[in-house]
Amino acid sequence: MTTTIDRERDLAVDELVRFPDVDLPDSAVDLRRQVRVFLDEERRRGTVMGRPDSWLSGWDRGFSERLAGRGWVGMALPTRYGGSGAGPIARYVVIEELLAAGAPVSAHWVSDRQAGISILGHGTDEQRETFLPAIAAGRCFFSIGMSESESGSDLASVQTRADEVDGGWKMNGTKMWTGGAHLNDYAIVLARTSDHENRHDGLTQFLVDLRAPGVRVEGIELLTGEHRFNAVHLEDVFVPDNRVLGNEGDGWKQVTGELAFERSGPERFLSTLPVLESLLGVLAAQSNTDHQLAVVGTLTARLVALRALSLGVASALQAGESPDVQAAMVKDLGTRFEGDLVEQVREISPVAPAISATIGTHPELLAFALLHTPGYTLRGGTNEILRGIITKEVTAR
């Protein structure tokens, strides 16, 4: 027998996992067309290589500046700080086009997706005026300084410490897997500033200049031989008081808010789309088996469904909601899709993957994506952690 309590609980869970239907406005069609024209121009320049994972591997300062020149970096920032104030749905249209094309967006990716929003939300006026116009101009690039070798999923266990000194803080510790730290300008570093029984207390975020004395960036080589990630050693690094982000001790609350932006975007299911595109080019040149067509059809159906869910998350963000559970669901489904896509494309490809430095042909793209597959379900929070978040929220209703 269904009781009133059961019905109320069902309604509460329905609300928690609601994905609004989104009809993109006419302005989005026009915007998409403009982005495609821009991308065609960039293809002619030779900057858009159509590679998978371009939001992590395609670091191109010139591309970021030109994109910003069109008003397509900092779209979530208000015009007062150099942004376009266009909001999450317009930004979504722009970034899905960039990701699908495999455009080199990694220089400004973190600044645009989360650092600017964190500074807007928690920063001082001076920090907003210093960083936000530079971010929106595609000229100030941030890395994420959260993880450490013993603190990934259990982020509250970070060992990096900042101790108060005259005029600021002295920071010591090592951040791991810090994407782009060898190229970027700043990292938002999560550090412990005081000890408490509750480990979520006493953490603070800092805007750390990656060129400051005492910062040593050591590259980590990926399976492909690429250098994207780093261990960032912080040895007595002085961080002035005006580079504390938000309130001292509020780091946990701030970092979880930042993770919501880190986890909710279309890069969590579109990273490997260029591999499907390149397969379609190969298949178009020959007759295809029913199995090949069925695999392409199934992947496309999953992609369309994921896009609808992901747009629902963007629309909830636009409405000022915090769709953390929906974002966790889309990231769990989306990152599994990214890996499945690569594996299934490999299975039906008429040609074998081939490792090469050029990464232009289908076999080369496939090999490149296969070597990156282990990371899809780890980065930005593992799928087990995401499922924990979903379960906790659903059972709390």
Ligand X SMILES: Cc1cc2nc3c(=O)[nH]c(=O)nc-3n(C[C@H](O)[C@H](O)[C@H](O)COP(=O)(O)OP(=O)(O)OC[C@H]3O[C@@H](n4cnc5c(N)ncnc54)[C@H](O)[C@@H]3O)c2cc1C
First to last CA, the chain: 19
Q: Using CA atoms, how far apart are residues 242 and 168, in angstroms rounded to an integer?
A: 8
Long-range CB pairs of 255-260 (<8 Å, 24+ gap) are 255/146, 255/155, 255/190, 255/203, 255/205, 257/118, 257/121, 258/114, 258/117, 258/118, 258/188, 259/380, 259/381, 260/322, 260/323, 260/324, 260/327
Residue among 83 and 180 whose Cβ is closer to ligand X: 180
Is residue 391 close enough to count as binding ligand X by CB under 6 A?
A: no
For ligand X, the binding residue among 57, 178, 184, 254 (CB under 6 A) is 178
Residue among 143 and 193 whose Cβ is closer to ligand X: 143
Residue among 129 and 209 whose Cβ is closer to ligand X: 209
Stretch of residues binding ligand X (CB under 6 A), selected from 119-127, 246-254, 362-370, 378-386: 378-386
Residue among 123 and 179 whose Cβ is closer to ligand X: 179
Residue whose structure tokens are 């499945």: 340
Q: Compute the radius of gyration of the chain from its Cα atoms.
A: 22
For ligand X, the binding residue among 161, 303, 382, 390 (CB under 6 A) is 382
Is residue 191 close enough to count as binding ligand X by CB under 6 A?
A: no
Residue 129 to residues 78, 209, 212, Cα–Cα distance (Å): 12, 17, 21
Q: Using CA atoms, how far apart are residues 336 and 268, in angstroms rounded to an integer?
A: 9
Is residue 173 close enough to count as binding ligand X by CB under 6 A?
A: no
Residue count of the chain, please give it: 397
For ligand X, the binding residue among 153, 247, 256, 391 (CB under 6 A) is 153
Query: How many CB atoms sit inside 10 A of residue 293's CB?
Result: 12
Give the nearest residue (CB) to ligand X: 152
Stretch of residues binding ligand X (CB under 6 A), selected from 58-66, 349-357, 358-366, 384-392: 384-392
For ligand X, the binding residue among 378, 390, 393, 394 (CB under 6 A) is 378
For ligand X, the binding residue among 90, 144, 237, 296 (CB under 6 A) is 144
Is residue 375 close enough to count as binding ligand X by CB under 6 A?
A: yes
Is residue 263 close enough to count as binding ligand X by CB under 6 A?
A: no
For ligand X, the binding residue among 81, 177, 186, 337 (CB under 6 A) is 177
Is residue 86 close enough to count as binding ligand X by CB under 6 A?
A: no
Q: Give the shortest CB-8-to-ligand X separation in angstroms.
A: 30
Q: Using CA atoms, how far apart are residues 132 and 117, in angstroms rounded to an integer?
A: 9
Residues within the interface to ligand X (CB under 6 A): 143-147, 152-153, 177-179, 375, 378-382, 384-385, 388
